[in-house]
């Protein structure tokens, strides 16, 4: 059964049509990557999925129930929904609004009326699990970008959500933290639904079994990572890859920049002569 059902959903900010009649669905336990260039509507669709914005036309359903202002005003449903769905924002600064890391992690459980002792216990084990114990009493504005991302993720995981919506989880991370994050996301899987918005093609294969490519607020293509990553035309059209010019020795050549390890044939399209060979010099 589908966990999320999005039917012809549209969303418009004041002057920008961010989503234009988007239709797709996400199954329970599925790992989905939402791909798209900057401004293609990735963050917006995640906000619709998290019931923060509501489709202005069309509908978004979660577990058979439509998400709109009215349904989320129903306290029981809203409580359940918030507990079951976690959202890590693209900008960790908006997510870390509490005075310390400890308070940040306590925020969700407090809203869910957990008892105090359980909260304190859970925070410690979460910090331990995420390798963040040394940051427990830090104030958020004294964290590095990568640390902020990890704390933001930890604060969302506190409620142990069954659906995780991630907005650019690996941007602004150094290669080591990036691979740590991916490892963590792979571990975290286990029956849970993970929807990741990203434009980083390198991680797609590791975090998703299905990709949805967005282009200007519309779904351009859906498919397995290998199919999508193999479709150079599509990737080029949606600006996910760009012409990459670089030099090998003295030859300059172009090939699509795939953001992943690959080999490519070297047929020089131009040649720069070494200085000693150039006729004018002496």
Partner 1 sequence: MFRRKSSFGFLEKTIANLGEILNHADQATLTSGEKGMLQQLDPRVKVGGALVLIVGAVSTSDLWVTGAVFLFSILMIALSRLSFRLYLERTWLGVLFFTGLIALPAIFTTPGVTIFHLPLLHWPISSQGVQSAWRLLARAETAATVAMLLILTTPWTHLLKSLRFFRLPVIIVTILSMTHRYLFLLLHLTQNFLDARSSRKVGRWSPSQQRELTASILAVLLSRSLQLSEEVYLAMQSRGFTGEIHILDEFCFRKRDWLSMMILTTIAVLLIMLR
Ligand X SMILES: Nc1ncnc2c1ncn2[C@@H]1O[C@H](COP(=O)(O)OP(=O)(O)OP(=O)(O)O)[C@@H](O)[C@H]1O
The residue within the footprint of Mg ion, chosen from 43, 155, 170, 196 (CB under 5 A), is 43
Find tokens 């397995």 and name the residue. 224
The residue within the footprint of ligand X, chosen from 3, 36, 157, 193 (CB under 6 A), is 36
89 binds partner 1 per the rule CB under 8 A: yes
Structure-block tokens of residue 2: 């589908």
Q: Please choose which of Mg ion, partner 1, ligand X, none residue 38 contacts, taking the beta carbon within 5 to 8 angstroms, the exact cut-off set by kind.
A: ligand X
176 binds partner 1 per the rule CB under 8 A: no
Provide the terminal-to-terminal Cα distance of the chain, rounded to the nearest Å: 76
183 binds partner 1 per the rule CB under 8 A: no
Q: What is the CA radius of gyration of the chain?
A: 22
The residue within the footprint of partner 1, chosen from 93, 121, 128, 183 (CB under 8 A), is 93
219 binds ligand X per the rule CB under 6 A: no
| 8, 182, 250, 252, 271 from 246: Cα distances, Å | 42, 29, 10, 6, 12
| CB of 123 or CB of 195, closer to Mg ion | 195
16 binds partner 1 per the rule CB under 8 A: no
Return the C-alpha torsion angle 91, 99, 173, 163, nearest 10. -60
Count the neighbouring beta carbons within 10 Å of the beta carbon of residue 64.
9
100 binds partner 1 per the rule CB under 8 A: yes
- Smallest Cα–Cα separation from 42: which of 226, 207, 203, 212? 212
- In the chain, % helix, strand, coil (3-state, to 5) comes to 40, 25, 35
- CA 207 distance to own-chain centroid: 10
12 binds partner 1 per the rule CB under 8 A: no
- Smallest Cα–Cα separation from 144: which of 197, 189, 101? 101
| CB of 62 or CB of 214, closer to ligand X | 214
Q: Considering only residues 60 through 79, tell me which ones interact with partner 1, judged by CB under 8 A.
A: 75, 78-79
Which residues are near partner 1 by CB under 8 A? 47, 50, 52, 75, 78-79, 82-83, 85-87, 89, 91, 93-100, 103, 106-108, 110-113, 116, 119-120, 137, 139-142, 155-156, 159
What is the binding site for ligand X (CB under 6 A)? Answer: 13-14, 16, 18, 36, 38-44, 90, 199
Q: Which residues bind Mg ion (CB under 5 A)?
A: 43, 90
């Amino acid at each position: 059964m589908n966990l999320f059902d999005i039917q012809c959903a549209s969303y418009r900010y004041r002057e920008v049509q961010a989503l234009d009649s988007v239709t797709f669905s996400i199954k329970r336990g599925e790992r989905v990557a939402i791909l798209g260039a900057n401004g293609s509507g990735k963050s917006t669709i995640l906000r619709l999925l998290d019931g923060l914005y509501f489709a202005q036309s069309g509908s978004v359903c979660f577990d058979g129930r439509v998400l709109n202002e009215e349904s989320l005003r129903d306290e029981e449903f809203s409580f359940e929904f918030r507990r079951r769905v976690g959202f890590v924002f693209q900008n960790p600064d908006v997510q870390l609004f509490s005075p310390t890391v400890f308070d940040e992690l306590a925020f969700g459980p407090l809203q869910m009326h957990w008892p105090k002792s359980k909260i304190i216990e859970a925070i410690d084990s979460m910090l331990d699990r995420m390798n963040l114990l040394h940051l427990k009493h830090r104030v958020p504005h004294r964290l590095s970008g990568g640390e902020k991302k990890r704390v933001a993720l930890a604060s969302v995981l506190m409620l142990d959500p069954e659906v995780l919506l991630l907005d650019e989880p690996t941007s602004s991370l150094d290669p080591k933290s990036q691979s740590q994050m991916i490892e963590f996301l792979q571990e975290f899987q286990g029956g849970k639904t993970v929807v990741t918005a990203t434009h980083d093609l390198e991680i797609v294969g590791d975090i998703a079994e299905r990709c949805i490519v967005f282009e200007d607020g519309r779904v351009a293509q859906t498919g397995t990572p290998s199919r999508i990553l193999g479709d150079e035309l599509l990737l080029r059209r949606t600006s996910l890859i760009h012409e990459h010019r670089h030099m090998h020795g003295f030859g300059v050549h172009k090939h699509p920049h795939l953001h992943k390890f690959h080999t490519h044939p070297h047929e020089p399209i131009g040649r720069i002569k070494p200085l000693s060979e150039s006729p004018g010099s002496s």
